[in-house]
Amino acid sequence: MYWNWKKGGVMLGLTFFLAVASIKPIGVSTQFVIADGIIAAALDPTLVQKDEKAKSGYTSTNAYLNKSGGKYAKSVAKPMNYSFVFVLSMFLGGLLGRLLTKKKPGSPVVRQIPGVHTRRFGNKFILRYSLTFIGGVIVLWGARLAGGCTSGHMMSGIMQTSISGYIFAVAAFLAAIPTALLIYKNSGSRNE
Amino acid sequence: MNSILLAILLGTLFGFVLQRIGAADPDKIINMLRLKDFHLMKTILTGIGVSSVLLFAAMATGLLDSGHLSVKSMYWGVVIGGILLGTGWAISGFCPGTGVVAAGSGRIDALIFLLGGLVGAGLYTLMFGVLKSTFLMQPLYGGKTTLVQTGEYQAVLTTSPGWAVAIAIGIALIGIGAALPGNSRNEA
């Protein structure tokens, strides 16, 4: 149902190359900060303000949004920018991917609870949603501390032979493999 | 081309490709991390290799300006953040990009992952003022450093030409991907 690794690998590689060639390397996790900033700025209009003295032309009362000359503050004030629209468009890509996938007759359109979860814990929606919520908190907090995620550090980083990319990838897999083995032990080996 | 139009085209393409390789399927991710199914690992290694070979070939032939590169800094936060991301990735089966794609494909658990992600990114945004002066942010290996000579960045290996070494690494990554076992029965 999914592309084989040769076709998938070439398509993935071409996508990363096309992005660098036309504008800049792909990254995702920063846009979670921008989305938070847009919500927070709607509640508190003083959070981000125009400032001609700032490098970006915008300043923020929050130290993170204000770093690098107010780079993030500017993106919050002007959400119609390349990086934010790129990530929003990924939702559409996911939808198109699903719509164009050939399904075996009788299989669900979208499997809502992963098989590894069901085989380990049973068909428990609340537990699954709790795990993904906690996972989301840890993933994005960690990605922001690291300054990038799987896309920005691992893929775009190693592609450019960046030292931080290699080290990030090793750290992520060294933590992820034992965690997955521990939480999803006895989940069988099938990928149906 | 207009940068917003470009963002829509490239973002949609990236989301589509992630969905079609199975990266937005938590079963595929978790079974890769449980070392049961290497299909996605083979795909990712091939993807990094192909993109790196194309990138360095394009720079070597002068088709691409190294100003398009963006190397991220190395500091302790990369290690600790990588460990945290890996942990949350294994718990949920999603990373930031694949969470977005999976939510777009209609997964409710992915939508909840994104809500958690907004909380995590929000907490970090509030804590940055305290964290920024700690050891976590101290540059290591000179900060923005690459393995081979890449544009204007400082390099660990001064072997010349850098692009040839980078292309060799890219081909090696594809080779490792090809050598990893397994054809999952989920392929088409």
The rounded radius of gyration (Å) of the Cα atoms in chain A is 20
Residue A148 makes CB contacts below 8 A (sequence gap 6+) with A27, A29, A156, A157, A164, A168, B72
The rounded radius of gyration (Å) of the Cα atoms in chain B is 19
Q: Name the 3-class secondary structure at B95.
A: coil
Nearest Cα of chain B lies from the Cα of A150 at a distance, in angstroms, of 7
Specify the higher pLDDT residue, B62 or B186. B62
How high is the mean pLDDT of chain A?
A: 93
pLDDT at residue B94 is higher than 90:
yes
Average pLDDT of the residues in A60-75 = 96
CB < 8 Å to B116, chain A: 132-137, 139-140
Confidence class of residue B85 from pLDDT cuts 50, 70 and 90?
very high
Contact B87 A63 (CB under 8 A): no
A19 interfaces chain B, CB cutoff of 8 Å: yes
Question: For A16-42, what is each residue's pLDDT tens digit?
Answer: 999 999 999 999 999 999 999 999 999
Render the burial of B26-62: b for 16+ CB within 10 Å, e for the rest: bbbbbbbbbebbbbbbbbbbbbbbbbbbbbbbbbeee
Specify the higher pLDDT residue, A52 or B1. A52
Confidence class of residue A47 from pLDDT cuts 50, 70 and 90?
very high
Give me the residue from A93, A138, A155 closest to B11, CB to CB.
Answer: A93
Which range (A99-103, A142-146, B84-88, B146-150) has the least confidence?
A99-103
- Using CA of residue A84, residue B134, residue A171, residue B48, what is the dihedral sign? positive
Strands A48-50 and A58-60: antiparallel
Query: Domain coordinates of chain A in residue numbers?
Result: 1-110, 111-192
Question: What are the CA-CA distances from residue B163 to residues A99, A166, B1, B9, B169 (Å)?
Answer: 40, 17, 28, 29, 10
Estimate the crossing angle of helix B96-104 against helix A82-99, to 10 degrees: 50
Residue B87 · residue B94 · CB < 8 Å:
no
Give the rounded percent of residues in chain A with a pLDDT score beyond 90: 88
CB < 8 Å to B84, chain A: 138-139, 141-142, 145-146, 175
Q: What ipTM goes with this model?
A: 0.95
Residue B33 · residue A176 · CB < 8 Å:
yes
* Residue A189 pLDDT: 59
B5 interfaces chain A, CB cutoff of 8 Å: no
Residue A114 · residue B34 · CB < 8 Å:
no
Question: For B63-74, what is each residue's pLDDT tens digit?
Answer: 999 889 999 999
pLDDT at residue B81 is higher than 80:
yes
A118 interfaces chain B, CB cutoff of 8 Å: no
Confidence class of residue B160 from pLDDT cuts 50, 70 and 90?
confident
Average pLDDT of the residues in B12-28 = 97
* Residue A190 pLDDT: 55
Pull the structure tokens for residue A170. Answer: 């090793």
Taking the C-alpha atoms of residue B33 and residue B46, their distance in angstroms, rounded to an integer, is: 17
Please work out, in degrees rounded to the nearest 5, the angle formed at the alpha carbon of residue B56 by the alpha carbons of A28 and B137: 45
Judged by CB atoms within 8 Å, which residues 74-103 of B form the interface with A?
Answer: 74-75, 77-103
Taking the C-alpha atoms of residue A136 and residue B76, their distance in angstroms, rounded to an integer, is: 22
* Residue A192 pLDDT: 45
A161 interfaces chain B, CB cutoff of 8 Å: yes
Please work out, in degrees rounded to the nearest 5, the angle formed at the alpha carbon of residue A170 by the alpha carbons of B109 and A138: 35
Confidence class of residue A109 from pLDDT cuts 50, 70 and 90?
low
Q: For residue B187, what are the β-bridge partners?
A: A2
